[in-house]
Amino acid sequence: MGVRFGRASGRRARGRCGIERRLALGVVVAGLTAGWAVAIYFLWRTNVPGNVPKVDEHALFSQSALDRAGDYDRFVRWDYVLTELAVLAAIAAYARWGARFTRESAAGRIGTGMLLAMLGLAILWLVQLPFGVADHWWQRRHGVSKVPYGEWIVDNWLGLGSEFLFI
């Protein structure tokens, strides 16, 4: 009698491996479920104050300050909405025409994936840059920020570089 190599022994080995994977997955899911249960238990016991005092903003701030705050908030909200619409349009365009870069790349699968990721990040950075500059201008106009424009752009550029390094 010798050692048999064939279909039966291969199936048994794959079966054991599959069982071990399922067992490990079950342990992970059970641990996450227990963690969520503990979090739910402690969060369920918290109390939210029911009697929040009513604050009259007109008694604390002048009408001109409230108007300026409303203007500031309105611009920031519209800047955010326009930024998100521009990002969605850029993502749609990149999804539509980005496959060309895959066909033209000679970097292999991993290199092409990294190239596409970095190119996508760069495109999104360029799309968001004018809206970020407008938001920074608005913050400087209202005295919220005193950072110079050049420094703000360099900081954003360094942030993009750190995202590239992360990839």
Give the pLDDT of the chain (167 residues) as one tens digit per residue.
555 555 555 555 555 677 888 899 999 999 999 999 999 999 888 887 778 788 888 889 999 989 998 999 999 999 999 999 999 999 999 988 888 877 777 778 888 888 888 888 889 999 999 999 999 999 999 888 899 988 988 988 888 888 878 77
Query: Does one domain contain both 123 and 87?
Result: yes
Q: For residue 97, tell me if it sits in a domain.
A: yes
Spatial distance between the Cα atoms of 120 and 93, rounded to a whole number of angstroms: 11
82, 131 contact by CB (below 8 A): yes
Query: Does one domain contain both 34 and 72?
Result: no
Q: Which domain holds residue 160?
A: 62-166
Query: Does one domain contain both 74 and 138?
Result: yes
* Tally of domains within the chain: 2
Q: Spell out the alpha helix ranges (H) of 7-141.
A: 7-44, 57-60, 63-97, 99-104, 108-141
Helix 108-141 crosses helix 63-97 at what angle (to 10 degrees)? 160
Spatial distance between the Cα atoms of 167 and 115, rounded to a whole number of angstroms: 9
163, 121 contact by CB (below 8 A): yes
pTM: 0.62
